[in-house]
Every structure is written in structure tokens, then in C-alpha cells.
Amino acid sequence: MSISRSSLSLCAIFSFVLLLASETAALQTSGPPGAAQPPVPYASVSELNGMLVQVKQTAQSMQADLEKTRIDRWKTDSSTKRQTQANVDSIQRNLQSALPDTITQLSNSPEDVGASFKLYRNLDALYDVFGSVVESAGAFGSKDEFQALSNDMTSLESVRRAFAERLQKLASAKEEELTRLRAQIKTLQAAAPPPPPKKIVVDDTEPPKQPAVKKKKPKPAPAPAEKTPPPSSPPAK
């Protein structure tokens, strides 16, 4: 699966937004205690809901038109048919499982950067694979199949571009919030009273001298007793 230039640029934006989000979270943690997180603006939630509705409608139309596409009747070789059918199966699995999951995650956290980029990346992957199917339908399929799939491709490109623009706006908003939090932290630090000087206590009193302990002289050991020689026996007669 090829990666478009727009995908690479959005990856760079995503990395930048993640860096801003992590630093913003750190500054929010170091802010005044008890400060509540600001709620998500209504305009942002409303914008996202409209985009998600468009994504769901596009996904339903893509799935219906893919089911009507008769790849087995195309005038091409069997290898091309198998490859195209494999792409269609992959797209349908995504539309039925992966895409609804990412939509749910983003609905629960409308301005979550990770969830936003995850949905965009999914749309970008669908755009690349679905574009290959549309191109093959134009070359080997019927006119009606190609027209229906082309309309779906236009809708998919529209929501994909909309999410790219939303990610850029999230990056700008995070940068502005980061600048504001930095200024707020500096203001709080400047207004805080200086810490009291540390007191160093020096104890110069001499401890009382302990009396010297006299060592007792060891007693001399008693002299060993002298052994008396045994009496000599009288000479024999």
C-alpha cells in the first residue's frame, strides 16, 4: 500500500501535535491546584458530528456499491480479478469493523489527537486501496459500476480532506493553549512570595569532659611451689 505525500505531511503534523499535547498536559498538571480542564467547545463538537455523519454515509454507499460490482464479469485476466477482489474484501472488512470502532473512540473524545489521527489514517488507507478498485473498474468494469464507485471516491476524498484540516486546526489550538499556559505559569511564579531563608544553627558549646577511667593493675601470679625430691632407699645388705 503506497503512502501519499499528504499522509507524510499529516504524520509530521501528528507528531508535532502530540508533542504540544504532552507539554500542555504537563503544564496543566503544574498549574494551580483544583483547576478543572476546560470543556470541549460546542462548535468543535458540532463540526465533528457533521463530519462523522458524512463518513458513515460514505461508508454505507461504498459498501452497497462494492456489493453490486461484478468483478467476475470484467474483461481482464484472472490475476487482476483476484487482486481486485482481495482489495474489495479488505475494504469491506474495514468498513464493517475498524472504521466504526475509530468513529466511536473519536465520538467519546472529540478533540483527542490520537483518536483524530487514527480515524484520518484509516480514511487515508481506504482512499489508497479504494482508488485502485475504482481505477480497475474504469478499465475493465461497466460504466454504471465505474460511475457509482467514482462518486464514492469523491465523497471519501472530501471527508479525508476535512479531517486533515481538522488536525491542522487542533495543532494550532494546542500551540495557542501551550503559549497561554506558559504565560500563566510565569505569572504565578512571579506573584508567589519568595521562600523563607534557611536558618543554619551552629552549636559551639563544648561537650562536658568525661572523667578518665583508671586502669587497675593486674595482680601478680603466685610463684609455683617447689617440688621436694623423693627419699632415697637404704642400701641392700
Q: How confident is the model at residue 130 (pLDDT cuts 50, 70, 90)?
A: very high
Question: Among 2-11, 31-40, 65-74, 82-91, whose mean pLDDT is lowest?
Answer: 2-11
Residue 32 has pLDDT above 60, yes or no: no
Domain count, the chain: 1
Cell of 151: 462518486
Cell of 190: 512571579
Asked if residue 176 belongs to a domain, the reply is yes
- Burial grade of 177 (CB within 10 A; 0-12, 13-18, 19 or more): middle
- Could you tell me which residue, 4 or 83, shows the higher pLDDT? 83
Residue 228 has pLDDT above 80, yes or no: no
Asked if residue 35 belongs to a domain, the reply is no
Asked if residue 69 belongs to a domain, the reply is yes
- Burial grade of 62 (CB within 10 A; 0-12, 13-18, 19 or more): buried
Mean pLDDT over residues 137-142, rounded? 95
Asked if residue 204 belongs to a domain, the reply is no
Mean pLDDT over residues 146-168, rounded? 95
Backbone φ and ψ for 224, nearest 5 degrees, come out as -70, 140
> ∠234-236-237 over CA atoms, to 5°?
125
Owning domain of residue 47 = 5-29+42-191
Mean pLDDT over residues 13-26, rounded? 54
* CATH number of 122's domain: 1.20.120.230
Asked if residue 140 belongs to a domain, the reply is yes
Asked if residue 236 belongs to a domain, the reply is no
